[in-house]
Amino acid sequence: MNSKPIIVLVRPQLGQNIGKAARAMLNFGLTELRLVAPRDGWPNPEAGPAASGADEVLEQASLFDTAQQAVADCSLVFASTVRRRDLVMPVVGPEEMAKRIADAPGRIAILFGPERSGLETEEVALANAIVTVPINPQFGSLNLAQAVILLAYECSRNAALSQPTVKETEARAPHGELEGLIDQLNSELDAKGYFHPPSRTQATKNTLRTIFTKPGWSSREMKAVRGIIRALAGPARNRGKT
């Protein structure tokens, strides 16, 4: 299930922050924005430029008088705030929130309070759980757009779990190619008188093997390294001719 939460900004103060929140949302595929009594009215001319192209989110934003109305159709609601002493309710981190969102049927909302003061107690109480981003206790300074982007990221992260993860770009070469490289290296080094004294030869060869096994080179890389060994060991090529 790939449920996408609705972002609800309660009494946001600055149009700029509404725009930044829209941009943060769209970066992680969230498109539904609800605004509860924005201080400077709506639409707000300062929102557009700050959205850096996320205009569709702003244009489709819907307006409500109260947080309660804004979440009326939602069956799962989170309140983004620090832990509240005045309320006994579950507190989850972003990861747990994303997990619950992914598993939930119905509509889901995340409430964010005004920049300066945060959500009122009554608004937090609308939620099923508080979500708190664990930040540096000596320096808690997360602004509205940052809180939105971190929670939006966490939701998309979870949605992406079902996708193939990013792989290393090239497969390791088959072991036979590694053997070929090591043989070549040993024979070129032998020709240069590298393995000396004879009593140490096997130990040195073992070391070389571990060093050249470690990279996990692809066939392409292996081929390049063999070319390098050949070039280093051979005579200088005359670059002037053909």
| Residue ranges in contact with a copy of itself by CB under 8 A | 23-24, 26-29, 52-54, 88-93, 95-96, 132-136, 139-143, 146, 149-150, 153, 156-157, 160, 165-166, 168-170, 185, 188-189, 191-194, 196, 207-208, 211, 214-217, 220-221, 224-225, 228-229, 231-239
Q: Which residues, 6 or more positions from 41, have their beta carbon under 8 angstroms from its beta carbon?
A: none
- The distance of Cα 190 from the centroid of its chain, to the nearest Å, equals 49
Of 117 and 165, nearer to a copy of itself (C-beta) is: 165
Of 42 and 153, nearer to a copy of itself (C-beta) is: 153
Q: Minimum CB separation from a copy of itself for residue 126, in Å? A: 17
- The distance of Cα 82 from the centroid of its chain, to the nearest Å, equals 23
DSSP 160: G
Of 37 and 233, nearer to a copy of itself (C-beta) is: 233
Q: Minimum CB separation from a copy of itself for residue 145, in Å? A: 8
Report which of 133, 135, 145 is spatially closest to residue 97, judged by C-alpha positions: 133
Q: Which residue has the tokens 């971190």?
A: 150
Distance in angstroms (rounded) separating the CA atoms of residues 24 and 19: 9
Q: Minimum CB separation from a copy of itself for residue 71, in Å? A: 20
Q: Minimum CB separation from a copy of itself for residue 224, in Å? A: 6
CA dihedral 93→52→5→140, nearest 10 degrees, is: 20
